[in-house]
A = this chain, B = another copy of it.
């Protein structure tokens, strides 16, 4: 089983969520993170001083998937999170040894 982690623009989150639901990916978690990196230059101002924001707000998604679904999920995320400007984010794939469903205690190596 795999864990797909995606760091995307927060403003694209709703669209990505819809796209995931359309391909029947209904379970995942997400949370806000700060991204440091190449981004569309955003100038911030505080009390007369203009400065480059050193980090930007991004949303991170974590999705647990059976191996065969990884491909299409990545596709869905990339297609929907893309604006074409620098700063669209990254998706990565990690291996998960196994997974337990708290409610039942059942464990699985392929995903639930």
Contacts and interface: CB of A to CB of B under 8 A. Distances in A.
Interface of A: 2-3, 6-8, 17, 26-38, 54-55, 58, 60, 64, 74, 77-78, 81-103, 105, 112
Contacts of A60: 29, 31
Q: How many copies does the complex hold?
A: 3
B102 A89 contact: yes
10 contacts: A17-B36, A17-B54, A29-B60, A31-B33, A77-B102, A88-B102, A90-B112, A92-B99, A92-B100, A93-B99
Nearest to A70: B97
Contacts of A32: 31
Contacts of A99: 90-93
